[in-house]
Structure 1
Amino acid sequence: MRISLLLCGILLSAYASRADRLTFDSAAAWESWEAPYGLVQIGDAGQLQLIKYRKNTNVIADAHLFTHKTKTRGDEIPGGIWEAGSGQATADRVIDGDPATFWKPDPDDVVGEWFVQLDLGRAVLAKEIRLKFPDQEGARPFKQFTVFIATGVTSDPLDDLFLFDPVYRTTRPNEESEISIPLRFTSQNTSQVLDPDLNVDPVEKDQYRLVQYINFTVEAIDLEGALAEIEVVGVGDNVSIGVDRRGFVIDGLTSVSNLSLFDANVNTNNAIAPVAFAGRERSWLEQGTWFYADLGAIFWLDEVFIYILKEQEGTAGFIAGPARGFTILGSDGTRSIGTELPVPEPFDYNELLFQPDNCPDCLHYLRYQFQAKRVRYLLWHVHSTSGWNSKWAELMLFSPGHPAEVTMRSNFIDLGEEAGDGRPKVIKSLNWDADLTTGARLQLRSRSGNTLSEVYDFYDRKGEQVTEEKWLSSPKVLRGEIDTSIVVGEDWDAWSEEYKSSDEAFKSQNPRRFVQLEMIISTDDPTVGPTVNALSIDFEDAFLQEAKGSILPRAARPNEDTRFTYTLWPKAEALDSGFDLLRFVLTEAAETNSVEITAAGLTIAPTSVEMLDDSLLVSLPAPIRGDSVQVSFITRVIENATVFSLDLGSSERPDTWQSVEAMQRRSNIVMLPELTGSGLLINDLQVPDVFTPNGDGVNDLFEVRFVAFKIADADPEVSVFDLAGRRRGSLITEQMGTQQRHTWSGRDDKGEQVEPGVYLLRIDLGADAGGDTATRVFSVAY
């Protein structure tokens, strides 16, 4: 089964709108992204959108987009007019959507040839057939006719012979120009509403039937008779179509060929046949009576339909019994610590539906409706392995709207090729223009590198994959193709953190020649979907081809002034402009008058040195291109494994920064050995001895400062107690993080001024271990 939709994972090059901006805003550009098959579409203005799964639509209108395998006509036959016994030239008018056109049989043909047969291109769960007739001179509604339907099951393994059932027959001459034919199974079916609060029309609850072919047959000569339109109203678009191209299915040992359930083709089926053992009954897990499906994206699902073959239906044979008890579990991919389920990855699974053993009713057509749920992964399993011998043709899934979450990835974008010079670039930022209604989200991540590698897959003449060694040792006549895949090189970084806003600074390594982007489009409301109008990468020429550095000493004492020396080794080519700005990112402020610089062994006087927030900014008198540089300064290190980051810039391009990589692994990291294995958590505690909150403007605020080691996001409790142990007040947190600052006005928890006297200050970091508390004595005087 194949459906013709946009964006099927084709990799083409994107187009740059300017030399320093690469923009994705057209069908040609978006085609360079890999997307789950059939889930995104491109609008007329080049905007990227999630598709929307529909309900209650005329499934004939898009029948031509679906193709299927036949016994006699080929493997890729599109839906449409399957056959017309008479009036072949006008038969396609009954599906052209225009009620002003119509089909009339040739009056010279025998009435037995007065029929037209439609192919929906795939098996559809339908609720209604609508007939529309013209009513004008020479073209009136047919008076006597019969409407037949068929699921598409063939009764002959070598021929396209379908089993048709009548669903409507005139019992008196028809004069109506429109006729509605509700569709229902006649037996062995059930429709369940699993959520009591779900608003489902009781009439429509049981109005459904599986259909692929519709036959309209005229029963009596009618020279004015004509048919304008045949419409088939489907329950909804089938999410299962395309699972084979965007996801995968894993079979259990005694439940096999389950990918056939997701192809909308009732001539393919699975087989569920647990083995009977003497003695105790084996569980579904022991027997392997289960299957797992990855749908390839997270969907909003609100309905499931299962079609189970009967004995001797089509070519199923005699081993085709009804469904017994089973459960389907669903997951949206939320991680769990572990699982005992037979699934590739540990996710949280919840019950999607529970079907008790339905025999002796022995049902074959099962429909379930429920509140919309986020689902990507399915796990089906039986309750008991006893009594099963079943063949299922279809497991259809339906959605109330847009997919819940779709992940796309760009190809490897060669910025050097886009610029025409083959050189690494400084990637400044990612920019996007998106329409995000309430609940809709756009998430972006990046990674970058300078090299790409090739991976080879070897195949023999039969198309089976073999090792390179076996391929090389085989005779040439037995060798098959070699597939080449492009993968990231060793210098690529991991995927970055998520970008929070458009025009945010690039989060991956810089400068780099290649970049790859990952975009996650999601919605919490299936009725609305995000639209991405454009996505751009802004980049510029790098100051240097490469810049690496390291810090010394690599170890220091906690919270103690230390002179560090950062050595930079730049690598430049003739076209590189060099740098004259350095930006160090520090966890603690550096002493600006302590900065000393040498280049190629010569001392350089910086034109300016300043500390802005967490950055030490150093300006040089002239650009440097190829000489090694050493920058020395005094600062403190409080956190173990502190990274000393350096960015290079130019006064001519003040908004562009090029990051410096570590010369060797961890060579830009400083350790604090004294903290390793130590229980020291509170350091440099500063508490005034006397506090005088008398309103004279001097010493009216009690201020406590300290350093908190090894406590991520520490939120300490700092309180005041009297000598009897009664709590008298709490300090207000003024500064969080490693450097803590807390203040107190001298008022208790009721807002009243405390009496003069001696008090205790207590700090509690709330750590699980170590010296996380401290107590100090101070006095309040007036």
Structure 2
Amino acid sequence: MSRSCLQTLGSLRAAVGQNHPYVVNMGGFARLVRRAFARARGTPGISRQLLNAALLLSVLGVVAAYGQGHTIAGNKVVVDRQAHWQQWTFPGGTLDIDETGTVRPHFVPKNTLATSDIAAFIKRGKDSEDATLRDALSAGTRAADLVHLLDGDLSTYWEPDPASPLRQWWFEIDLGRLVAATHIRLTFVGEELGDPFLQFVVLTSDGAEVTKGQRRFNQVFRTLKSNKDQREFAIELDPTRFDREGRMVSDYIRFVRLTITDTDSTRAAEVSAEQYDQLAAADQGAVDFYKKAGAGQVQVSEATYEVVDSALRGEIRRYRRERPRLAELEVQTLGENISLGLVERRGAALLTFLDNAPATAFFDGIFETSLAFTSTDEIRELFFDLGSSFWIDRHQIYYDRQRSRFPNYDLQTSDGSLAADGSLVWTTQASHRNRATSGHYTGDVYDVDTFAPTRTRFARILFWGGGQFKPREVQFYGEGFQPEVELVSPLIRLGSSKNLVSVEWDGDADVGTFIEIQTRTGSELVEEYSYFNSGGAEVSAEAYAGLGFFSKGRIDTTEVPGGDWSAWSLPYEASGAAITSPSPRQFLELKARLVSDDPHRAAELRSIRLNFVEPLARQLLGEIEPSVVGALGKEQELSLFIKPSFAAQSAGFDEVQIRAPDNMALEFRGLRLGREAQWDSAELVSSAEVMATAPDSLWVRLSEVVSPSAADLIEVQFATALYLPGAVFKASLGHSALENSWQRVDPADATELATGQGMLLVGPEGGRHVLGDLSIDSGVATPNGDGVNDELAFSFAVTKLTGTQPLHVRIYDLAGRLVRHWQETRPLISGEYALRWSCEDQSGALVAPGMYLLEVEVVPNDDSRVERTARHRLVHVVY
């Protein structure tokens, strides 16, 4: 790279800061530039100055491109604009993002107008600039004016050129895809603007061709008499079938053609001489002259009229020219065909019986595409992943006219729930058995199944029975907001490692809806390459290497998360929650989920703000010693070693916090600071203060701030008991004078002084006992009200069991009768228990003096094989 280019990069770094997110990846960008220089070197006509200029423009382009999907404002990552959300990744068409930056799941409507979004379908599979609405419109005359039929404005219209012959008075509209139409509505202009068509016919086509380039049309409407005053027509379409005469009638259409068959031309309406003179020249029609003949009159030419005797002159009739003007044409459909967006949503349609061969031809809205196959008595499957979740209540299959329909099939849907074996849970929505299969014989060329609105992500058709089949389209319909939509941010670069503090969001979640926000973080990126041929099609690296020089296209480089990235965090419970993903980190991603269990309610998300601060240290590593305890339920002393890596300008720390699972209590025993190399001389800190916190946490504050040069190793000594097979500790360092300074400790092999690796504490292998020894303070209770031994106190530990499970305490007399029974329930059953019996029976009365049997029992609610689920002790009641 030339010196001037490097100077350009250096100037940019100096201008915006070495760690600014716009330039942190300049090294990777420079590598791309070097490759460009290598390819361009020696190319005729490309000078070093031109390359330098191109580099500068490219750098400016990179600067402009960074920040897409978010804005970094101070110590916040902010996502709150339409332009931000549009850069996030989500299944195509599943979100509606308005100009205010509000994001909501897409609403799937019923009774839609196929003429309102023609342009979107005309552009499918084409470059946007190469396809426009006009590509869907054709006419024998004035084709450019056909756009007025689709603009929703009754003051604009299409009118045939009056100078063109009647045979050219037609137009055709391509809806861009097959639709299940219910009505075609024609609206002519008002009386003050023009006339309806005198006589016309409306035809439709699904796109099937009689001969190459010649589509087959079906007549769906024809005027039976001259129309002078009807200005609105609602043409109801018949279901797709063959009628009794073998003619095809259809509501499954792509093309609409209207042909004007008759016109009043220059004689639309007779007007007075005064009215005629007031008409615009273009609206002045014929003038007819008449000569008296006996009791009547005959029409003559104007020249004859002028030369006949005035007594023989008859009347002059003047006419307004016909103004045949159609304002709007609408094609109303069953609703939005969910199937059409399958490819954009990265869904799938598979013939599982043909090695998962793709079947996207069923979902493309094009009549010409289809798949033909045979069936046997063996059940075969068509599998569909819709690419997102929808509320579905209708399914249709449209068959080829010359092929049979399925004699037997089941339609099944799944919301994505999994069975115990990991397979999808399916619900049968429709079943058909032993049907006649030929469309020519039955009159049916498609199947329709309707059912209650069902949350659906996957669907399948199981079919069997001999025959040949050629489905052309498979459609799904429904209504309501999508029940679940997920969107993921682009890579967010913080410029350098930042301590991630909290995440906030603003939105609305009514009853039955909720918003979930998750994060993941990392410090490594890797490059992935995408190869394209000269035609723009993506190819493999091997295929690209085999292409000739002129057949090679661009190579795109994308940076993606590397191997050190965390998994997605659990959803944050509320706005303002502390970040739980590993931190500090240099890179992060955000994920949002909008979920609803009501088709007519949706959560709305307006913004996300992620707060961060400069970290106390570049890195904090932590390790528990020992990492294995000798017994469960027994107190043991542990040490947490923390190895900091401070930056020179670090403010140091004066607080340490350790957190354990809920059922573990932590007791502080001491804290040591020092140099690992001279650890034998490290001394306990005498000024450590234990701050008030929950039993499962330990918060220690020092009287003085520990500077980066004072210590390179910290040891926190504490005691606790482990009740489960394993427990993960979490730790943080903080600076009490700095807001939001808590920085998490990463589990690692922090020091050779510890024999483990990380912050996982595990119990001994083997053993199935879940109840520890039953300890009683005194085996004798004297409930005489003097405050001494009035109650029986006992304690024990439960280990190994997880979740919420009942623990039973029972008191029996020596005859075996149950005297008292109660139940203890905790969110996590394992842990230490300290209970008391007041020497009362179930009714609350004191029991009689004597000996009793105390029983403590746990009943595991799973099939785990555990032992010693009950303990017993004899106790005495004396008074």
Same fold (TM over 0.5): yes
State the distance in 2 between where 1:234 and 1:760 align: 76
Equivalent residue in structure 1 for 2:329, among 219, 230, 246:
230
Does the CA contact (< 8 Å) of 2:77 and 2:611 recur in 1?
yes
Distance 1:353 1:34, change over 3 A: same
Distance 1:577 1:53, change over 3 A: same
1:38: Cα distance to partner? 0.9
1:11: Cα distance to partner? 10
Does residue 584 of structure 2 align to residue 584 of structure 1? no
1:542: Cα distance to partner? 0.7
1:180: Cα distance to partner? 1.2
Does the CA contact (< 8 Å) of 2:780 and 2:878 recur in 1?
yes
Unaligned runs of 5+ in 1: 1-9, 190-206, 275-280, 312-319, 340-345, 417-422
CA-based RMSD of the aligned residues comes to: 3.0
Does residue 568 of structure 2 align to residue 507 of structure 1? no
Q: Which residue of structure 1 aligns with residue 449 of structure 2? A: 368
Q: Which residue of structure 2 aligns with residue 16 of structure 1? A: 71
Q: Which residue of structure 2 aligns with residue 542 of structure 1? A: 615
Does the CA contact (< 8 Å) of 2:207 and 2:215 recur in 1?
yes
1:490: Cα distance to partner? 2.1
For 2:869, give the aligned amino acid: D
Q: Which residue of structure 2 aligns with residue 41 of structure 1? A: 96
Distance 1:89 1:18, change over 3 A: closer
Deviations 1:207-251 (A, max 9, x none): 981122212221111323322211111110111112112212222
1:81: Cα distance to partner? 5.4
- TM-score, scaled to structure 2: 0.76
Q: Which residue of structure 2 aligns with residue 200 of structure 1? A: none
Higher helix share: 2
1:373: Cα distance to partner? 0.8
For 1:549, give the aligned amino acid: G
For 2:70, give the aligned amino acid: Y
For 1:598, give the aligned amino acid: L
State the distance in 2 between where 1:328 and 1:142 align: 46
Does the CA contact (< 8 Å) of 1:548 and 1:660 recur in 2?
yes
Does the CA contact (< 8 Å) of 2:483 and 2:596 recur in 1?
yes
Q: Which residue of structure 2 aligns with residue 187 of structure 1? A: 241
Q: How does 1:531-570 map to 2 (within 5 A)?
A: 531-558=604-631, 559-570=633-644
Q: How does 1:482-497 map to 2 (within 5 A)?
A: 482=555, 484-497=557-570
Deviations 1:189-224 (A, max 9, x none): 9xxxxxxxxxxxxxxxxx981122212221111323
State the distance in 1 between where 2:561 and 2:129 align: 41
For 1:425, give the aligned amino acid: K
- TM-score, scaled to structure 1: 0.85
Q: Which residue of structure 1 aligns with residue 50 of structure 2? A: none
Equivalent residue in structure 1 for 2:475, among 391, 396, 407:
396
Does residue 431 of structure 2 align to residue 354 of structure 1? yes
Q: Which residue of structure 1 aligns with residue 721 of structure 2? A: 637
Does residue 359 of structure 2 align to residue 258 of structure 1? yes
Q: How does 1:157-556 map to 2 (within 5 A)?
A: 157=212, 159=213, 161-174=214-227, 175-185=229-239, 187-188=241-242, 209-222=251-264, 223-246=322-345, 247-253=347-353, 258-274=359-375, 283-284=378-379, 289-311=380-402, 320-338=403-421, 346-359=423-436, 361-362=441-442, 363-384=444-465, 386-387=466-467, 389-416=468-495, 423-456=496-529, 466=540, 482=555, 484-556=557-629
Distance 1:240 1:355, change over 3 A: same
Work out the percentage of aligned pairs sharing the same amino acid.
Answer: 26
1:74: Cα distance to partner? 12
Q: For residue 145 of structure 2, give the secondary structure of its aligned residue in structure 1.
A: helix
For 1:349, give the aligned amino acid: W
Number of residue pairs the alignment of both structures matches:
718
State the distance in 2 between where 1:596 and 1:81 align: 78
Q: Which moved more, 1:693-702 or 1:238-247?
A: 693-702
Does residue 670 of structure 2 align to residue 670 of structure 1? no
Distance 1:589 1:624, change over 3 A: farther
State the distance in 2 between where 1:236 and 1:366 align: 17
1:347: Cα distance to partner? 1.2
Q: Which residue of structure 1 aligns with residue 848 of structure 2? A: 755
Unaligned runs of 5+ in 2: 1-64, 244-248, 265-321, 750-755
1:112: Cα distance to partner? 1.5
Q: Which moved more, 1:78-87 or 1:233-242?
A: 78-87
Distance 1:74 1:265, change over 3 A: farther
Q: For residue 338 of structure 2, give the secondary structure of its aligned residue in structure 1.
A: coil
Q: For residue 245 of structure 1, give the secondary structure of its aligned residue in structure 2.
A: coil
Q: Which residue of structure 2 aligns with residue 99 of structure 1? A: 154
Q: For residue 549 of structure 1, give the secondary structure of its aligned residue in structure 2.
A: strand
Q: For residue 240 of structure 1, give the secondary structure of its aligned residue in structure 2.
A: helix
State the distance in 1 between where 2:66 and 2:220 align: 47
Larger Rg: 2
1:78: Cα distance to partner? 4.0
Q: Which residue of structure 1 aligns with residue 705 of structure 2? A: 622
Q: Which residue of structure 1 aligns with residue 20 of structure 2? A: none
1:31: Cα distance to partner? 2.5
1:476: Cα distance to partner? 6.5
Equivalent residue in structure 2 for 1:771, among 868, 872, 878:
868
1:557: Cα distance to partner? 3.1
Does residue 877 of structure 2 align to residue 780 of structure 1? yes
State the distance in 2 between where 1:88 and 1:633 align: 85
For 1:232, give the aligned amino acid: V
1:519: Cα distance to partner? 1.8
For 2:119, give the aligned amino acid: H
Distance 1:485 1:16, change over 3 A: closer
Q: For residue 141 of structure 1, give the secondary structure of its aligned residue in structure 2.
A: coil
Does the CA contact (< 8 Å) of 2:158 and 2:327 recur in 1?
yes
Distance 1:78 1:356, change over 3 A: farther
1:755: Cα distance to partner? 2.1
For 1:260, give the aligned amino acid: A
Does residue 111 of structure 2 align to residue 32 of structure 1? no
1:760: Cα distance to partner? 0.9
State the distance in 1 between where 2:544 and 2:75 align: 45
For 1:176, give the aligned amino acid: Q
Q: Which moved more, 1:39-48 or 1:663-672?
A: 663-672
State the distance in 2 between where 1:401 and 1:98 align: 28
Does residue 789 of structure 2 align to residue 710 of structure 1? no
State the distance in 2 between where 1:527 and 1:168 align: 37
Deviations 1:153-212 (A, max 9, x none): 33444x3x32211111111222322221111136359xxxxxxxxxxxxxxxxx981122
1:484: Cα distance to partner? 4.0
State the distance in 2 between where 1:413 and 1:404 align: 28
Deviations 1:272-331 (A, max 9, x none): 234xxxxxx6623xxxx43322111111111112111112xxxxxxxx333332223221
State the distance in 2 between where 1:489 and 1:74 align: 37
Q: Which residue of structure 1 aligns with residue 314 of structure 2? A: none
Distance 1:734 1:168, change over 3 A: closer
State the distance in 1 between where 2:194 and 2:86 align: 48
State the distance in 2 between where 1:555 and 1:329 align: 50
Deviations 1:617-639 (A, max 9, x none): 12221233253223242412223
State the distance in 2 between where 1:730 and 1:378 align: 51
Does residue 772 of structure 2 align to residue 682 of structure 1? yes
Does the CA contact (< 8 Å) of 1:717 and 1:764 recur in 2?
yes
Does the CA contact (< 8 Å) of 1:759 and 1:778 recur in 2?
yes
Does the CA contact (< 8 Å) of 2:773 and 2:871 recur in 1?
no
Q: Which residue of structure 1 aligns with residue 22 of structure 2? A: none
